[in-house]
């Protein structure tokens, strides 16, 4: 009797596996049909670069934190009208719906073989407490937000920042508190520059610090500052970059290839240089003693663009180095640790997707 039961059990298991296989086969065939993939054996191997059946978007990298950059790649569906993606942008929002960042996509060539995608770079505000955020691809015909468009979640790890108190003398107090039409005009011009998203990719990264990497830092990215004014009042701010405690006259070097878009004296930041490295990504160098760069010129990584000083609102000689992505402050250490545009990682991600579709087509 036990032997008979064992045989029946084996027959039942075999029938179950056959049933599951049939369902799986039908499901796979449906997927293949819906995706427009070759279903019959013997057809040419599936090529993700030429046969991608639908729009594909994903972030590069496995972990992200507030204040750090996020890079997205977008592979359009094969044969799609390129004009469909002309106004495409990424919008990051909190789960509660608060908009955190917005960035336009640009064309990015991955290798000498002509493989290309669209990419965009932005940063999460350092004020974000961490947790889940939602990324929506907007401005694509047929995929607009709220109309069944492309969206996915991304997790941002929690992050803590240091606090510091800075006491200002009467002169620096006035720089921060006294209204000045020139300051207003300079702020508007700065925002105009940082809001611009060009089409040139001058550098993919990683970046290199503008002074020796082991230089003493007097302030860090994201520091929560309290300014104590000479009149007894106070104000708060978030430090947008890194302050290096270098003596006046120290050479300041370009962190990566780029275009010099500003090289002039400003009221608050003193002698300043701003360089565009790729669409919406800029590096800023403040409080220089001298400027050795010209607006409109190309700068190569390592070129000396000025000498450090204490011009503008400064309590002593130092270099303020700041990076922006889609107008938002971004941690310079993160850009030095890894490339913003990692072609190898992008190709790997896309090829893995191709392997998935290749399995479906078999």
Residue 186: both structure tokens together: 């300079």
CA 187 to CA 165: how far, in whole Å? 24
- Per-residue pLDDT band for 148 (boundaries 50, 70, 90) equals very low
- Per-residue pLDDT band for 15 (boundaries 50, 70, 90) equals very low
Residue 328: both structure tokens together: 């938002």
Question: Closest Cα to residue 201, out of 255, 253, 258?
Answer: 258
Name the 3-class secondary structure at 354.
helix
Domain extent listing, the chain: 48-159+342-360, 163-330
Question: Which of the following CATH numbers is that of domain 163-330: 3.30.70.20, 2.70.70.10, 2.40.37.10, 3.30.420.10?
Answer: 2.70.70.10
CA 36 to CA 52: how far, in whole Å? 9
Given a cut of 50, is residue 51 above it in pLDDT?
yes
What pLDDT score does 43 carry?
A: 59
Q: What is the mean pLDDT of residues 277-301?
A: 97
Given a cut of 70, is residue 1 above it in pLDDT?
no
The per-residue pLDDT for range 80-128, each reduced to its tens digit, is 888 888 889 999 999 889 999 999 999 999 988 889 999 999 999 999 9
- Per-residue pLDDT band for 79 (boundaries 50, 70, 90) equals confident
The per-residue pLDDT for range 94-104, each reduced to its tens digit, is 988 999 999 99
Question: Closest Cα to residue 323, out of 362, 361, 358, 277?
Answer: 277
**48-159+342-360 and 163-330 share one fold:** no
What pLDDT score does 142 carry?
A: 58
Residue 11: both structure tokens together: 């027959």
What pLDDT score does 355 carry?
A: 86
What pLDDT score does 24 carry?
A: 32
pTM value is: 0.85
Q: What is the mean pLDDT of residues 63-80?
A: 91
Q: What is the mean pLDDT of the chain?
A: 86
Query: Which strand (E) or helix (H) includes residue 304?
Result: strand 304-308
- Which of left, alpha, beta for 260 (phi over 0: left; psi -120 to 50: alpha)? beta
Question: Which of the following CATH numbers is that of domain 48-159+342-360: 3.30.200.20, 1.20.1260.10, 3.40.640.10, 2.60.40.1930?
Answer: 2.60.40.1930
What pLDDT score does 170 carry?
A: 95
């Amino acid at each position: 009797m036990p032997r008979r039961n064992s045989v029946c059990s084996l027959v039942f298991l075999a029938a179950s596996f056959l049933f599951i296989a049939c369902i799986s086969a039908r499901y796979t065939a449906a997927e293949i049909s819906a995706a427009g993939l070759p279903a019959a054996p013997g057809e040419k191997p599936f090529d993700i670069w030429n046969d991608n059946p639908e729009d594909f978007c994903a972030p590069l990298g496995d972990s992200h934190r507030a204040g750090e950059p996020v890079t997205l790649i977008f592979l359009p569906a094969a044969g799609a009208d390129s004009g469909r993606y002309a106004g495409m942008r990424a919008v990051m929002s909190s789960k509660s719906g608060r908009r955190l960042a917005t960035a336009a996509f640009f064309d990015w060539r991955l290798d000498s073989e002509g493989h290309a995608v669209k990419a965009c770079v932005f940063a999460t505000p350092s004020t974000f407490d961490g947790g889940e955020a939602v990324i929506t691809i907007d401005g694509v015909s047929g995929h607009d937000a709220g109309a069944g468009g492309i969206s996915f979640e991304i997790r941002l790890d929690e992050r803590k920042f240091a606090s510091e108190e800075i006491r200002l003398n009467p002169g620096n107090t006035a720089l921060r508190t006294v209204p000045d039409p020139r300051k207003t005009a300079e702020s508007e011009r700065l925002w105009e520059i940082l809001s611009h998203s060009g089409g040139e990719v001058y550098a993919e990264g990683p970046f290199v610090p503008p002074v020796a990497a082991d230089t003493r830092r007097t302030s860090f990215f994201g520091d929560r500052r309290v300014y104590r004014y000479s009149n007894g009042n106070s104000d708060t701010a978030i430090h947008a970059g890194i302050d290096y405690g270098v003596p006046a006259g120290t050479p300041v070097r370009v962190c990566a290839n780029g275009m010099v878009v500003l090289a002039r004296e400003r009221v608050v930041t003193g002698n300043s240089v701003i360089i565009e490295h790729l669409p919406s990504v800029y590096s800023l160098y403040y409080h220089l003693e001298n400027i050795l760069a010209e607006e409109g010129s190309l700068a190569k990584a390592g070129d000396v663009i000025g000498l450090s000083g204490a011009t503008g609102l400064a309590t002593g000689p130092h270099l303020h180095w700041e990076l922006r992505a889609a107008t938002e402050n971004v941690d310079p250490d993160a850009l030095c640790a890894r490339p913003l545009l990692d072609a190898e990682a992008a190709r790997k991600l896309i090829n893995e997707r191709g392997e998935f579709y290749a399995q479906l087509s078999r």
